[in-house]
Chains A and B, each alone.
Chain A
């Protein structure tokens, strides 16, 4: 069609794989995504939702039991005063980070493939942060005075200590939750308008009203898009340093202490890389079944999974580098306590946890050097579960092995979780999946308007390439 011939073969580096596969146009993209919410609820959904609700109720029961009896019902005790609650907190908040990476950082880097996975990943972020926030909140013991963590006047006439990383964490996590929710909602407004218009057309008045309330009267005006795109760009630019700061501050909870194994400057970047690694693992765990069950294979293509696998390979290897560097610094610093902490970590009584962590986080992503494996959803799904397991163990190893044998051998001890610990953790999955399943059922799980905007047909010069020769460059040549 145009003057520049581009050879149609995958080896040609100028030719990017199509983001949307098959014979899709704008209307079919709308139909596919809206169809997920409009179709009859699949039976499998009820099954999963029932399990999730049961786990959520179990979580509420566990929290009630804990509040009634005090945190003695957990396994936390001297010397391991921080145990599963902080492990679970860091585990969940880390998972959230992939959502922000996809929605903000990949947006700033103009990675257009993000459009088909960003919405679900952002939802994952919000629900993961909710699951995370529960643990420090219930860990304070007297949850009825939780407002002491906020700068509010209280009966002690005392303000919070702003030199404590734990307080920085309060600000970081609550800001992260607010900004992620707003970013998610703003991105969803045009798609909620699509849902509203479809419900209106189909005569589903109640649905049209409900979607209409949240679509805020959006009507795709170009005057609105100008401000909207600006707001989206600014939110991406704000969320990028925000997500890096959140996990850096989470790592300060450990790094600012004086405990060998925690007191190290590598923690902020190491925690951020681990967070992104774990979050992308969870993205695969969620999206691989979802794309199959909801028939989204043409929108979430193997190329998307391939890209996610590459990020897993990169961040998993970075995490492996950090593990090695911790040992190097322990040796190079000449500090006996540091050296002992790391030898104890790898060869002490918790060596089994350490080697589970290394196997899952460093070895399992190395399979992604192979293109065949990166494009095999079954392999990806299994390895993503390994990533989730490995990253939980990473936080367990950091927290428990550093605490259980500190400076004084007379105060050494071992940690064992109670049934309440286990059920509370399992319950947090109930919370996460309950919300995620509701999201899958009722909201646009893919960013419809963003996907349309990256289709070749969205280019104004697509149908008349000769009207503006200045624009008909390499990017349009293959149509």
Chain B
């Protein structure tokens, strides 16, 4: 995880293209603990950096299913079991009339699951991250593109990795401490 890495090398690039080409070369050199920091998601970077696909869909599916079950059992128990309610000429539990509320509860739980599941997978919110020590990192949310190699990487070497990042055209190559 980035989060537990003690040391990290960070280099700045001018454009999404420069970052993508550098990322490709870093991967070809055999580095595996590599991340990028960009103002917007850069197309194709997930593949270059061998990012596993997000499991968020499964979390959301689970939450949505829970919403359906919760809504159905709530309506059945409240209107048919605990206090049977005979209104509008329908049986106490009429499945047709439960569809709107079931749908809304499914969407509510799935949506909340999507947002908090995403924050959970990203370990957010967090108070600090080593990348914030970089001298120009404020531009990662503006117009610059950063590549970081973590010290936990088996190929990490405090001299060679820095020179390598510079040879790729990286500016402001800095070694950051957590």
Residues of B with C-beta under 8 A to A194: 39, 141-142
Chain B: minimal CB distance from A115 (Å):
10
A220→B54 contact, CB < 8 A: no
Stretch at the interface among B119-127, B151-159, B169-177: B119-127
A161→B87 contact, CB < 8 A: yes
Interface of A is mostly: helix
B143→A198 contact, CB < 8 A: no
A222→B35 contact, CB < 8 A: yes
Q: How far is the CA of A182 from the CA of B112 in the complex (A)?
A: 8
Decide: A186 near B105, CB < 8 A? Known: A158-B83, A178-B112, A452-B40.
no
Residue interface mask A260-278, B partner, CB < 8 A = 1:
0000000000000000000
Residues of A with C-beta under 8 A to B60: 234
Residues of A with C-beta under 8 A to B137: 197, 219
B132→A222 contact, CB < 8 A: no
Residues of A with C-beta under 8 A to B57: 230, 234
A179→B108 contact, CB < 8 A: yes
Stretch at the interface among A134-142, A167-175, A293-301, A387-395: A167-175
A220→B140 contact, CB < 8 A: yes
Q: How far is the CA of A223 from the CA of B52 in the complex (A)?
A: 9
Stretch at the interface among A90-98, A340-348, A461-469: A461-469
B107→A242 contact, CB < 8 A: yes
B90 interface residue (CB < 8 Å to A): yes
Residue interface mask B32-43, A partner, CB < 8 A = 1:
000111111111
- Nearest A residue to B92 via CB reads A163
Residue interface mask B43-77, A partner, CB < 8 A = 1:
11110010101101100100000000000001100
Q: How far is the CA of A23 from the CA of B88 in the complex (A)?
A: 64
Decide: A228 near B118, CB < 8 A? Known: A172-B104, A222-B49, A460-B44.
yes
A288 interface residue (CB < 8 Å to B): no
Decide: A168 near B100, CB < 8 A? Known: A227-B118, A457-B16.
yes
A186→B118 contact, CB < 8 A: yes
Partner pick for B83 among A159, A175, A190, A249, CB 8 A cutoff:
A159
B122→A464 contact, CB < 8 A: no
Q: How far is the CA of A457 from the CA of B18 in the complex (A)?
A: 12
- Nearest A residue to B101 via CB reads A171
Partner pick for B36 among A162, A222, A230, A231, CB 8 A cutoff:
A222
A235 interface residue (CB < 8 Å to B): yes
A27 interface residue (CB < 8 Å to B): yes
Q: How far is the CA of A450 from the CA of B41 in the complex (A)?
A: 9
Could you tell me which residues of chain A, from 199 to 253, have a CB within 8 Å of some CB in chain B?
200-201, 216-231, 234-235, 238-239, 241-242, 245, 249, 252
Interface centre among A158, A219, A452 (most CB of B within 10 A): A219
Residues of A with C-beta under 8 A to B46: 222, 226
Partner pick for B15 among A178, A228, A463, CB 8 A cutoff:
A463
Q: How far is the CA of A243 from the CA of B83 in the complex (A)?
A: 32
Number of CB contacts from chain A to chain B under 8 A? 219
Chain A: minimal CB distance from B160 (Å):
23
Decide: A179 near B129, CB < 8 A? Known: A151-B78, A453-B40.
no
Q: How far is the CA of A252 from the CA of B88 in the complex (A)?
A: 15
B107→A175 contact, CB < 8 A: yes
A229→B104 contact, CB < 8 A: no
B163 interface residue (CB < 8 Å to A): no
Report, as a range, how many residues of chain A touch the other chain.
35 or more
B37→A220 contact, CB < 8 A: yes
Residues of A with C-beta under 8 A to B20: 460
B104→A171 contact, CB < 8 A: yes
- Nearest B residue to A471 via CB reads B44
Decide: A190 near B85, CB < 8 A? Known: A200-B138, A231-B114.
no
Q: How far is the CA of A163 from the CA of B82 in the complex (A)?
A: 16
Q: How far is the CA of A279 from the CA of B117 in the complex (A)?
A: 31
Chain B: minimal CB distance from A317 (Å):
29
Chain A: minimal CB distance from B4 (Å):
13
B79 interface residue (CB < 8 Å to A): yes
B124→A216 contact, CB < 8 A: yes
A175→B17 contact, CB < 8 A: no
Residues of A with C-beta under 8 A to B105: 171, 175
Decide: A460 near B118, CB < 8 A? Known: A26-B39, A453-B40.
no
Q: How far is the CA of A457 from the CA of B55 in the complex (A)?
A: 30
Residues of B with C-beta under 8 A to A201: 138
B161 interface residue (CB < 8 Å to A): no
B115→A186 contact, CB < 8 A: yes
Residues of B with C-beta under 8 A to A457: 15-16
Q: A175-B105, A226-B53 are in contact. List 20 more A-B contacts (CB 8 A).
A: A151-B74, A162-B98, A168-B104, A172-B104, A217-B129, A218-B124, A221-B37, A222-B37, A222-B41, A222-B42, A224-B124, A227-B122, A228-B122, A231-B56, A231-B115, A231-B117, A242-B111, A452-B39, A458-B42, A462-B17
A-B contact list, 27 entries, CB within 8 Å: A26-B39, A26-B142, A151-B74, A163-B90, A168-B100, A172-B100, A175-B105, A175-B111, A186-B115, A190-B40, A200-B138, A219-B140, A219-B141, A221-B37, A223-B122, A229-B54, A230-B57, A230-B118, A235-B115, A238-B110, A241-B107, A457-B15, A457-B16, A458-B16, A458-B40, A459-B16, A467-B21
> Could you list which residues of chain B lie within 8 angstroms of chain A, going by C-beta atoms?
2, 15-21, 35-46, 49, 51, 53-54, 56-57, 60, 74-75, 78-79, 82-83, 85, 87-88, 90, 94, 97-98, 100-101, 103-105, 107-108, 110-112, 114-115, 117-119, 121-122, 124-129, 131-132, 137-143, 146
> Could you list which residues of chain A lie within 8 angstroms of chain B, going by C-beta atoms?
25-27, 30, 151, 157-165, 167-168, 171-172, 175, 178-179, 182-183, 185-186, 190, 193-194, 196-198, 200-201, 216-231, 234-235, 238-239, 241-242, 245, 249, 252, 448-450, 452-453, 457-464, 467
Q: Which 6 A-B pairs have the closest CB atoms?
A: A26-B143, A216-B125, A231-B118, A159-B78, A197-B138, A460-B20
